[in-house]
Each structure stands twice: as C-alpha cells, then as structure tokens.
Amino acid sequence: MATDRFYLRWLGYTPIQQHRLSDPVTVKEGQPPCEFESARKRVSKASIVLTLSNVFLFLLTAIMWCLQYGPHPVILNAALRETSSYTPIFDTLDLEPSIKKINGSVKPAGELSIARQFPNPAADAIWDEDIELIRPIPITREQIIKLGKNPDTVAKLEDHIWGLGDNAYVAALDIFHNLHCLNSLRQAAYGRYYNQTMAEATHFHSRTETHLNHCVDILYQHISCSNNLNLVTRHWTEGVTFPFPDFSINAHCINFDKLVKWHKEASVDMKKYVDVMKKPPGVKEEPAELWNMGQ
C-alpha cells in the first residue's frame, strides 16, 4: 500500500482527506501547509489575473468602440481639407460642400445665369460688385507662413489706419481672381459692346494681349490642376443623329453665395484701401518678376 501511495503521489493524485466538520484540524510544528490549501491559493491568484485581464480587455474594447463609432469633434470643411492646400478660410467659414447638378444645357430654358446672359447693365453690375471684384481681406503673419509665403514682403494693414491690431496683412481670395479672368474673356468676346480693342495675334504683346494671355493661362492651370474627373455620358437624343453629351453632371460644390456674402463682410473698405495703400519707403520687396505686365 505504501508503494501504491508513492506512485499515486508521483502521478499527481492525492486523495482528499475526509473530515467531518466537527473534527479538529491540527497542524504539527514544522508540518508544511496542506496541498489542498496551496492549490486553492493558486486558483485564487489565477482568478484574480483572469478577472483583471477581462476588465482590461473590456476597457480596451470600449475605448476602441468610442474612437470608431462615438462622437467626434466637428472639423470645419473636413472634406474640402482633404483635397485642398492650406487656407485660413476653412477655419473661418462653413462652406457647406454638397453635390449639386450643373446646368449644362446648350440652350437652357427659364432664367439665365449672369454668365449665360448677353451683356446688359444688370448682369454687369453683379459681375462688377459680387463676382470679379477682388477684395482685400486681412490675415495674420502666422497664416502667411502657413501659405508658404514671405510675411516680410506682404503689405501690412497698419493699426493706426485700420484698427485691426498689429498682426493684420493683405490677402485676397484666388477664386475671385479666376472669376475676374473669366469676366475679362467674356468682355473680350463682346469687345464692341465694352469698347475694347480686340487682341492681336502678333509677337508684340500690348497690355491687352498680356493680360488676356495671363488669364487664359491661369484658368488653364487651375482647371487642369483640379480634381474634376466627372464623366459626361453621351445619349441618343431627339433631333441629333450622333450620341449627344449630357453636360448636366453632378458636381461637388461649395455654397458660393455664402462665400460671396462673407467676402463682402470680411474685406476692408475698398475706397479707403485704394486711397491709403501706397508703398512706404524702405520696405522689403519681392523681385520685379512678380509683376511685369509689359508696356
């Protein structure tokens, strides 16, 4: 029996001693703790480790769920930022980007946009005041640096004149320069109405040719640089014997009317700007190549 007990203990089997609840438990001096008590302590430690691990995994899962599906801070114009270079306007105005249908009809019915109308005083007034007028707006030195430009040569809106503080410099929205160029081409197309001399296709460039070529090139660069990869489907159409393009596509647009309104409100007084913004002596300057319109 002693041999059997030895092998059973060596194989890991130890019979549990049967005690009645009333039996006293005595431990002789120098006797090691019973193996049942040691096993119970090991199980207790394992349970604690397992519980803590489960709590940690639960908290980690909860954090990951919140990061993925929970509320996120609203980033103004987030979709536009992903496909645009830096502009402080994104931090100032919600441009409300959305999908809108472009009116690409060759002969549209109903009220025509000012870009589709023949020259007339009412349309010209909107062009002059809202669309092509390049209004100066104030920006900070830090914003100039983010634009990749040299703040030391940017014209400053002096505080004693404008009351805008000591960190206000002149900038303008490029979109309105592009629209100015578009309007210049529109007016050139109706040169007689606007009393404009038509450009000459010669090697000698007057101010007229230089300006128009600048505008054509600017618009070409912006259009070819844009991410407009919309498709124009071609349809069988009544009265046409070949597949005709449907230019009325869905485009990703900003709220342009909202931008025009903000543009007016954020700009400095134009008349005052023209009157007082004269180059002071001793200022740092960019090279002459920045502005060379010819003779």
Buried b (16+ CB within 10 A) or exposed e, 193-208: eeeeeebeeeeebeeb
Task: Check residue 273 and give its pLDDT.
Answer: 98
What residue spans define the domains of the chain?
36-69
pLDDT in tens, 187-232: 999 999 999 877 777 766 788 888 999 999 999 999 999 988 999 9
- Which residues are paired to 170 by β-bridges? 138
Residue 35 scores a pLDDT above 90:
no
The mean pLDDT value for 163-169 works out to 98
pLDDT in tens, 242-278: 999 999 999 999 999 999 999 999 999 999 999 999 9
Q: 98 by DSSP, 3-state: which?
A: strand
Would the pTM of this model clear 0.85, i.e. be above it? no
Task: Check residue 219 and give its pLDDT.
Answer: 98
Q: What are the strands, taking DSSP E only, across the chain?
A: 98-101, 137-139, 169-171, 234-235, 244-245, 250-253
